[in-house]
Each structure stands twice: as structure tokens, then as C-alpha cells.
Amino acid sequence: MLPEFRYYPDPLGTGAFHQGAPRRCQCCGRETEIWYAYPFYTAGDEPDCICPDCIASGAAAEKLDGDFHSEYVGSVSDPARIEEWMKRTPGICTIQDTPWYAHCDDFCAFVGYAAWEDLEETGIADEIAETYDSEVSGFSLADLKEGMRRGCCIQGYLFRCLHCGRHFLTADVD
């Protein structure tokens, strides 16, 4: 069972964690069948195995001297929220360090990877057209509609504000 991550509700479903034969967590030393698979920013060697509990508690970031994120878009004034996001929230797999969204003075939840068809099928394409900021990703909305398709070259990252429920999108080239 995974601990709850407020800013990342489905890290197993989106691939932030792998599941398989037991491995030893490099933070706590316990064996785990679920381990972190995405970026960890540290000056030392990137760890091969971090268990979900060590991420949720902040032990991994403290013991391994690193962070799970590098930048965000928006503003968050509460240092405790910034610390939770940087030190106790799994990262997402991006090509070029795509920023995480913040809105309503808090970090948004990462919903998942998205193609334009996904946005249309879930009924939020019009909302994304309103909230999308081309300055963040460097793509026009027309570029996204054309290139952010399943199997194409632009990868979308979908976020939802925990307070107002609005959706936001960043993207980068695959």
C-alpha cells in the first residue's frame, strides 16, 4: 500500500513507482516491492531504489541530500507546502525539466500524462485552451492540438488545482 501524496494522487498508475521483485531501499535499508523510478536531484549518485515511505516521510530527501523537483510555475507562499512538494512528493518523468504548476497559493496535483485526445475525451480541452500559457512550455495552442497526439512528439503534463479545481497543462518535446 502506497502512502498518500497530496500533490501526486496516482504515482503508481503514472509510472513514478515500479513494482517487482524485492529491492533494498537505499534510505531505510528495508526490502520493498515498490520503488521510485523517476528523477531525484542530488549532488551525489542518484539512488537506484527509494521506497515510497521514505519519500512520504521526507527521510529520502534528508538522508540522500536531494530534492524530487527543480522548478514550478505560479506562486506558493507557505514554506511548509514548498518543502512538502520538494522533499516529500514524487517527481514526474519529463524530457526537459518541465515545471510543475502552482495555483491558488498551493501546488497543483499531477493528474497524469496527456495527449490532446485525452483532454477532448474528458471534456477539459476548452478549459485547457483558457488556462494554457504558451510562455511556460514554448508551444502555441495550435502546436499542442497538432503535435500533442498519442504517438507524436509533444508530451503533455496535466495538473489540477486542489482548491478551485481548474486544470493546467505544461508540455515538452519527446
20-63 pLDDT, tens per residue?
999 999 999 999 999 998 888 888 888 999 999 999 999 999 99
Whether 85 and 5 map to the same domain: the answer is yes
- Whether pLDDT at 153 is above 90: no
Whether 41 and 106 map to the same domain: the answer is no
57 Cβ neighbours under 8 A, 6+ residues apart: 88
Whether 23 and 107 map to the same domain: the answer is no
Whether 162 and 120 map to the same domain: the answer is yes
| Predicted pLDDT of residue 27 | 95
**Closest C-alpha among 23, 27, 7 to residue 103:** 7
CA–CA separation, 13 vs 7, rounded Å? 14
Give yes or no for a contact between 171 and 94, defined as CB atoms under 8 angstroms apart.
no
For 78-134, what is each residue's pLDDT tens digit?
999 999 999 999 999 887 778 899 999 999 999 999 999 999 999 999 999 999 999
Picking from 34, 66, 93, the residue at the C-terminal end of a domain is 93
Whether 77 and 124 map to the same domain: the answer is no
Whether 2 and 88 map to the same domain: the answer is yes
Residue 41 is part of which domain span? 1-93
Whether 86 and 22 map to the same domain: the answer is yes
CA–CA separation, 164 vs 129, rounded Å? 17
Query: Measured between alpha carbons, how far is residue 37 from residues 48, 51, 131 in Å?
Result: 8, 10, 30
Whether 82 and 101 map to the same domain: the answer is no
Whether 98 and 149 map to the same domain: the answer is yes
Picking from 66, 93, 120, the residue at the C-terminal end of a domain is 93
Whether 8 and 83 map to the same domain: the answer is yes
> Considering all CA atoms of the chain, what is the largest pairwise distance in Å, rounded to the nearest integer?
49
Picking from 60, 93, 126, the residue at the C-terminal end of a domain is 93
Q: Please indicate whether residue 8 or residue 39 has the higher confidence score (pLDDT).
A: 8
Count of the separate structural domains present in the chain: 2
**Closest C-alpha among 100, 122, 69 to residue 168:** 100
| Predicted pLDDT of residue 60 | 96
Confidence class for position 152, pLDDT limits 50, 70, 90: confident
- Whether pLDDT at 174 is above 80: no
Mean pLDDT of the region 65-70: 91
CA–CA separation, 72 vs 67, rounded Å? 13
Whether 87 and 98 map to the same domain: the answer is no
